[in-house]
């Protein structure tokens, strides 16, 4: 059991790491769309040929208050536009100005059918990444990851950065590895994107021969959860009674849900930190033993970001099989060193009977102006009055955006 002094030292190290990585105070602006707009403008985006995946991601990002504040009011954006007039950042700034027009302060366009055709933005995306060619169906997950990464590269204040952030796995001292990671991270990353969206994962490899543990830390964006493996993992865990504090009635109810292909969002976080055994062809080289050894491998959420993006990855074969239950409030106090309470602010759902590259994407976003939910279906925007009916049971929830409260 750790002594009080040791716990305090660890807590101070975590707080120091968070202060260095996440400059939360720097993204709270005096000017804010929350106070400038009495009503949300609610402007749609025209579907210019299979770009619904693109439109929903833009609407979700634009309803993140800190990010839109930054693009509308931060002076650094002006410098980036002068420096990189053909960048994705410049195109995104233009689209934000269309969705949040300065001359539309007090107008709610919900019933006015206002929308914007994102032609130039679409052309810019196609020119940067051939994956998103015009008139080609794509996955919203791929696009949100592309947007986050590319905006970070454009907005990173540190220009001559080294993208190789991998730490050596064979260092046994956890704090030494963490300090080395923090130093490298701060030397390479300083943007509104890393402040908002990036978390730290900690990986632990324990050699089953010499019993030594080796550590690695990594900065990560969206959290990808494979739903069918989550269901199998939780079912097996309950049946084997591992880490189970439920009574028999609760256990039976949970197993019945899993057998009906229904999992809880917390199941996803339990799955994320499970211990795997690496053996046989997957055996890991142990620097202490000097040979391939069987290992216990575990990845933990070390710190959580301001905006947590969760991708409920169904896979193509089982896409319509597993349903994930989630709520507007998500308690993650037990899942990271800086865990907290998160509030759902956007959901991307998928409609259709094919894999994620086909069908249709729709977004539901909670406006930072009036805290009301709205559905964004390309050019059409409508009110959402019933969360359970209009979000949980409208299409398949696919990507969740949670904001730290």
Structural domains in the chain plus CATH codes: 168-190+199-304 (3.90.70.10)
How far apart (Å, rounded) are the C-alpha atoms in residues 104 and 265? 38
How far, rounded to the nearest angstrom, does the alpha carbon of residue 368 sit from its chain's CA centroid?
Answer: 18
Which secondary structure element, helix H or strand E, spans residue 211, and what is its range? none
- Per residue in 63-83, pLDDT (tens digit) is 999 999 999 988 888 888 888
* Alpha helix positions (H), 189-335: 192-197, 227-239, 248-259, 265-272
* Cβ(167)–Cβ(216) below 8 Å: yes
Write out the two tokens for 170: 């064979």
CA-based nearest residue to 302, from 242, 244, 229, 215: 215
Tell me which DSSP letter residue 388 carries: I
User: Which residues, at least 6 apart from 259, have a Cβ–Cβ distance to it below 8 Å?
Assistant: 235
Torsion sign over Cα 228, 401, 273, 152: positive
Which secondary structure element, helix H or strand E, spans residue 343, and what is its range? strand 341-351
How far, rounded to the nearest angstrom, does the alpha carbon of residue 244 sit from its chain's CA centroid?
Answer: 29
Write out the two tokens for 347: 């959901």
Which pLDDT value is given to residue 17?
47
Write out the two tokens for 244: 């189970």
How far apart (Å, rounded) are the C-alpha atoms in residues 143 and 138? 8
Number of Cβ within 10 Å of residue 148's Cβ equals 20
Question: Along the chain (405 residues), what's the average pLDDT of each consecutive run of 10 residues?
Answer: 51 52 44 82 90 94 94 87 90 94 63 83 89 77 94 88 58 86 89 93 92 91 91 87 72 90 92 91 88 93 95 69 90 91 95 67 94 94 85 83 95
Calculate the CA dihedral of residues 155, 366, 377, 118 and round it to 10 degrees: -30
CA atoms within 13 A on the CB side of 25: 3
Which pLDDT value is given to residue 26?
44
Which pLDDT value is given to residue 30?
55
Angle between helices 140-155 and 75-83 in degrees, nearest 10: 90
How far apart (Å, rounded) are the C-alpha atoms in residues 237 and 386? 34
Write out the two tokens for 374: 């709205």
Which pLDDT value is given to residue 8?
55
How far apart (Å, rounded) are the C-alpha atoms in residues 199 and 146? 17
Which pLDDT value is given to residue 394?
73
Angle between helices 265-272 and 227-239 in degrees, nearest 10: 80
Measured in residues, the chain has a length of 405
* Max CA pair span of the chain: 70
């Amino acid at each position: 059991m750790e002594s009080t002094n040791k716990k305090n030292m660890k807590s101070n190290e975590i707080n120091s790491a968070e202060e260095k990585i996440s400059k939360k105070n720097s993204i709270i602006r005096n000017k804010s769309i929350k106070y400038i707009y009495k009503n949300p403008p609610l402007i749609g985006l025209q579907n210019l040929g299979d770009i619904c995946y693109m439109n929903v991601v833009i609407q979700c990002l634009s309803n993140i208050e800190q990010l839109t504040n930054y693009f509308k009011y931060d002076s650094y954006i002006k410098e980036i536009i002068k420096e990189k007039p053909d960048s994705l950042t410049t195109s995104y700034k233009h689209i934000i100005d269309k969705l949040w027009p300065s001359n539309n302060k007090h107008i709610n366009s919900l019933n006015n059918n206002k929308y914007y055709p994102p032609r130039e933005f679409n052309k810019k995306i196609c020119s940067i990444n051939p994956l998103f060619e015009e008139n080609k169906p794509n996955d919203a997950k791929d696009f949100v990851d592309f947007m986050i990464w590319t905006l970070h590269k454009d907005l990173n204040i540190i220009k001559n950065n080294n993208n190789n952030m991998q730490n050596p796995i064979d260092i046994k001292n956890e704090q030494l590895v963490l300090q080395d990671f923090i130093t490298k991270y701060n030397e390479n990353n300083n943007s509104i994107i890393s402040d908002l969206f990036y978390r730290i994962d900690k990986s632990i490899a324990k050699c089953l021969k010499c019993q030594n543990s080796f550590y690695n830390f990594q900065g990560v964006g969206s959290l990808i959860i494979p739903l069918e493996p989550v269901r199998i993992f939780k079912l097996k865990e309950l049946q084997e009674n591992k880490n189970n504090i439920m009574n028999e009635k609760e256990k039976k109810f949970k197993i019945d849900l899993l057998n009906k292909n229904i999992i809880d969002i917390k199941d996803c976080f339990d799955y994320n930190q499970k211990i795997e055994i690496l053996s046989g062809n997957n055996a890991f080289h142990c620097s202490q033993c000097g040979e391939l050894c069987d290992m216990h491998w575990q990845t933990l959420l070390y710190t959580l970001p301001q905006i947590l993006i969760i991708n409920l990855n169904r896979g193509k074969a089982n896409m319509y099989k597993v349903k994930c239950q989630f709520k507007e409030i998500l308690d993650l106090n037990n899942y990271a060193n800086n865990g907290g309470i998160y509030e759902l602010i956007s959901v991307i759902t998928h409609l259709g009977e094919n894999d994620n590259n086909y069908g249709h994407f729709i977004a539901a976003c909670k406006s930072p102006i009036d805290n009301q939910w709205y559905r964004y279906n390309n050019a059409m925007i409508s009110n959402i009055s019933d969360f359970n009916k209009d979000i949980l049971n409208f299409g398949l929830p696919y990507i969740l955006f949670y904001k730290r409260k």
